[in-house]
Chain A
Amino acid sequence: MTAVVRAEGLGKRYGRRWALHDCTLDIPSGHVTGLVGPNGAGKTTLLSLAVGMQAPTTGSIEVCGGRPAASAEQLAKVGFVAQDTPTYARLSIAEHLELGARLNPRWDHQLARDRVDRLGLDPKQRAGKLSGGQRAQLALTLGLAKRPELLILDEPVASLDPLARREFLQTLMEAVAEYELSVLLSSHVVSDLERVCDHLVVLVDSEVRVEGEVEDLLATHIRLTGPLRDVHALPSDQHVVSASHTDRQSTLVVRTSSAVLDPSWSVTALGLEDLVLAYMQAPDESRASRALEVLR
């Protein structure tokens, strides 16, 4: 399968701070990829590098087989809906579509008009008068009518109410089914992405912590609960993602592809949200060593 986004040692520095550091990614096409991480983790930086609005400080990134924004042809392949789904407040919906048609060589008139019809929007209405949900749908319509190979969305549903959020994701998934486009979308709310993503990238502190197919990730991560234990004494194929200890009990999230044989652990499956949270709280070395002292 071809990669829709491929990054090698990608980094971006603002002044002395690295917003993104040594990021290596290989996102296959035909997937809906969720980019998750806390605020300030570097999600927006990664997306704007992928779109080509910024140039990398180190490393390289390829999107749909080319350097981002390198040519008109390349620009036509990638659609982008920026954070808070911006539109031109003073332009009407019809003017937005007109603008889209003039700026994009592959513009799909029919799709754009059908979508506006189905949303029940008046083409003469100014975008500034739309509700948040309607504005998001307009921005999504523009992104889809461009007929890109990859659609990138930065926190598209963060500011929407639950109903508008659901409607937005319905439209997006319907388009994925119909046009076979790849999607890369970011969110700091994992539960929004659980149903829609089949590929996941977790970004924390400017670095990629884990990347993979959602099902593989869910199948290989488990939670172990048992009597207090030194995390360094685990079998070598159990990679500790997060660990917390009380004076009697250890709770670990580990990544492993084989069964846990130690009977003193109780093993439970992990949901996507817990999995991501485990990566956000890196194993706390100081607490682990304190637990060791208790053991002695």
Chain B
Amino acid sequence: MIEFSLDSRSGVSPYLQVVHQVRHALRLGLLREGDQLPTVKDVVARLAINPNTVLKAYRELERDGLVAARPGVGTFVTRTLADTSLAAHEPLRRDLRRWFAKARLAGLDDESIEALFTSTFRTAQQDIA
């Protein structure tokens, strides 16, 4: 079971935040096929948000074929987003950590690291496209 949290200053609508958090958990293998999502009532009681927000998020996940609602029981994961690349995550994470350590050593602060990372990420995306 995963727990949701909301960032009210992110500017991202609450329902999208829930969708993102489920997709994120699916991608990282935190949620697998057959796992149950928290019930609407649980999410609502925890976050003090409108039930329709949660329903909307779950419906969107259902439309994307990631979860299925079983009436009276709950909502279950039907497909995972963690593909075969999951095995490659760990070595990649180690490389990235090493890179961060290097950047730190070179005297970059958080903001510069983030800027460098994002801009490189963007250029790399363009190269692929």
B25-57 to A contact mask, C-beta < 8 Å, 1/0: 000000000000000110011111111110000
Contacts of B6 in A (CB 8 A): 195
Q: Is the interface of A mostly helix, strand, loop or mixed?
A: helix
How far apart are B19's CB and chain A's nearest CB, in angstroms? 14
Whether the pair B13, A174 counts as a contact (CB closer than 8 A) is: no
Whether the pair A177, B48 counts as a contact (CB closer than 8 A) is: no
Whether the pair B14, A31 counts as a contact (CB closer than 8 A) is: no
Interface size on B, residues (CB 8 A): 17
Whether the pair A166, B48 counts as a contact (CB closer than 8 A) is: yes
Whether the pair B52, A198 counts as a contact (CB closer than 8 A) is: yes
Contacts of A195 in B (CB 8 A): 6, 8, 14, 47-50, 53
**Given known contacts A269-B11, A271-B11, is B49 in contact with A196 (CB within 8 Å)?**
yes
A136-161 to B contact mask, C-beta < 8 Å, 1/0: 00000000000000000000000000
**Given known contacts A31-B52, A195-B50, is B8 in contact with A174 (CB within 8 Å)?**
no
Whether the pair B52, A173 counts as a contact (CB closer than 8 A) is: no
Contacts of B8 in A (CB 8 A): 191, 194-195
Choose one: B13, B14, B40; the contact of A177 (CB below 8 Å). Answer: B40
- Asked if A176 is an interface residue, CB under 8 A from chain B, the answer is yes
**Given known contacts A178-B41, A198-B53, is B48 in contact with A173 (CB within 8 Å)?**
yes
Whether the pair B49, A173 counts as a contact (CB closer than 8 A) is: yes
Whether the pair A176, B13 counts as a contact (CB closer than 8 A) is: no
How far apart are B87's CB and chain A's nearest CB, in angstroms? 39
How far apart are A23's CB and chain B's nearest CB, in angstroms? 24
- Asked if A69 is an interface residue, CB under 8 A from chain B, the answer is no
How far apart are A163's CB and chain B's nearest CB, in angstroms? 11
Choose one: A32, A197, A218; the contact of B13 (CB below 8 Å). Answer: A218
Residues on B close to A: CB < 8 A? Answer: 6, 8, 11, 13-14, 40-41, 44-53
Q: Can you sample 26 A-B contacts with CB below 8 Å?
A: A30-B52, A32-B50, A32-B52, A170-B45, A170-B47, A170-B48, A172-B48, A173-B44, A174-B41, A176-B44, A176-B50, A177-B40, A177-B44, A177-B51, A178-B41, A191-B8, A195-B6, A195-B14, A195-B48, A195-B53, A196-B48, A196-B49, A196-B50, A198-B50, A198-B53, A218-B13
